[in-house]
Amino acid sequence: TAAAPAATATTAAGAAAVFPTAVSSKYSSLSAGKARMNTCLDQYKANKTGNGNGGLKWIQKGGGYYSECNKRLKGG
C-alpha cells in the first residue's frame, strides 16, 4: 500500500492526529471531492496501526477525522 504524505497536526479535537498535506496523485482522475476523501481514507487506515488518528473516528458528531482532513486539504 502506498502511504500518502503526512504531517502532524495539533487541534483541539485530534491533538496527535496525522493528516495528509496534499491530495494523492493516484486519485488525480477523480473529482476533487472524491480525491480528497480517498486520500484522507488512505491516511486514516495507515494511522490506525500506530494510533495516529488522535482518538478521532472517521465520522463523528462535532467533526471526525474525515471532516478535519477534508478541511485541511481544501486549504481551510
pTM score, two decimals? 0.78
Per residue in 4-38, pLDDT (tens digit) is 444 444 344 456 899 999 999 999 999 999 999 99
Instruction: Say what the pLDDT of residue 50 is.
Output: 86
The number of domains in the chain is 1
Instruction: Say what the pLDDT of residue 8 is.
Output: 40
Cell numbers given for 35 = 480525491
DSSP symbol at 76: -
Does 11 map to a domain? no
Cell numbers given for 59 = 465520522
Does 12 map to a domain? no
Query: What type of residue is 15?
Result: A
DSSP, residue by residue, 12-40:
SS-TT-EEESS--GGGTTS-HHHHHHHHH
pLDDT range class, residue 67, cuts 50, 70, 90: very high
Residue 64: other Cβ atoms inside 10 A: 17
Residue 70, domain extent: 1-6+23-76
Does 18 map to a domain? no
Instruction: Say what the pLDDT of residue 16 is.
Output: 83
